Amino acid sequence: MSEKKAIIKVTDLYKTFGDLKVLNGVSLSAYAGQVISIIGTSGSGKSTLLRCINLLEYSDSGEILFEDEKIIWENNKNHRIPANKSQVIRHRTKISMVFQQFNLWSHMNVMQNIIEAPISVLGKSKKEAQEKAIELLQKVDLYDKAYEYPLNLSGGQQQRAAIARALAMEPDVILFDEPTSALDPELEQEVIQVIKNLAEEGRTMILVTHDMKLAKDVSNYILFINNGLIAEEGDPDSIFKNTKTERLKKFLESTNFN
């Protein structure tokens, strides 16, 4: 039997902002259908890791592979940048990201937000993009808001629209950066249910989350990052029931998760 290959493979990633060391040699592999949750305190490097994977931030060293294709770098003064713009576009096209603050275009209604990238990036016709958008809006229970503008939506509705927009790109992997942290508890549940449904469909996802119950319920694998390093990792049972490190124990206690 051939060895299972990772869709995303990150090896020994480092990232600094000035004198601040944010990532100190992080490695991870994400396989098809796997849901990985990344947990840890604020400032531990979780969101920076996601942004480096999607090339919204450029790491200082280490390797990032997507479906066995290694990102090619070149030097730019004291930093490195991707050497091939078409490779970056191809990489981002197959990895969608859902942000904490929704990032919907305020001058466009929900339908326009969803169809813009499939038309301009994937080359889909407006009719084809709209048909897919309607299907996705039904999936996230937002069909009746298709022609509303973001300012007229609740936070939970905006985040569900952002998830539909991410899905419209037909990505191989979806990255979620604290998708529920800007929401109150009631609206949070709307988004959590959508994420759970996507996990049940077998979507490949990497989530940065403060919600330990969500991490436990949807993940196949969990990474605990502390001071820019993976301090502990494993399946949900090993993380929450058979915790090995004192640092993770203290973190879980601080979240009041039992």
Q: Is residue 111 part of a domain?
A: no
What is the predicted pLDDT for the residue at 29? Answer: 95
Does 17 score more than 60 pLDDT? yes
Q: Does this model's pTM top 0.85?
A: yes
Q: Is residue 2 part of a domain?
A: no
Q: Is residue 3 part of a domain?
A: no
Q: Is residue 213 part of a domain?
A: yes
Confidence of residue 31 (pLDDT cuts 50, 70, 90): very high
pLDDT tens digit sequence for 205-219: 999 999 999 999 999
77: left (phi over 0), alpha (psi -120 to 50) or beta: left
Tell me what percent of the residues of the chain surpass a pLDDT of 90: 83
Provide CB contacts within 8 A for 40, sequence distance 6+: 46, 224, 225, 226, 231, 251
Confidence of residue 177 (pLDDT cuts 50, 70, 90): very high
Q: Is residue 162 part of a domain?
A: no
Q: Is residue 140 part of a domain?
A: no
Confidence of residue 1 (pLDDT cuts 50, 70, 90): very low
Which domain does 54 fall in, by range?
A: 8-102+172-254
DSSP 178-210: STTTTS-HHHHHHHHHHHHHHHHTT--EEEE-S
Q: Is residue 86 part of a domain?
A: yes
**Angle at the Cα of 231 (from 208 to 45), degrees rounded to 5?**
40
Does 159 score more than 50 pLDDT? yes
Does 178 score more than 60 pLDDT? yes
Q: Is residue 78 part of a domain?
A: yes
Does 229 score more than 70 pLDDT? yes
How many domains does the chain divide into?
Answer: 1
Lowest mean pLDDT among 31-45, 61-75, 180-194: 180-194
How far is 47 from 52, CA to CA, in rounded Å? 9
What is the predicted pLDDT for the residue at 2? Answer: 41
Confidence of residue 258 (pLDDT cuts 50, 70, 90): low
CATH code for the domain of 189: 3.40.50.300
The residue-averaged pLDDT of 73-93 equals: 92
The residue-averaged pLDDT of 94-106 equals: 91
pLDDT tens digit sequence for 54-67: 999 999 999 999 99
The residue-averaged pLDDT of 252-258 equals: 79
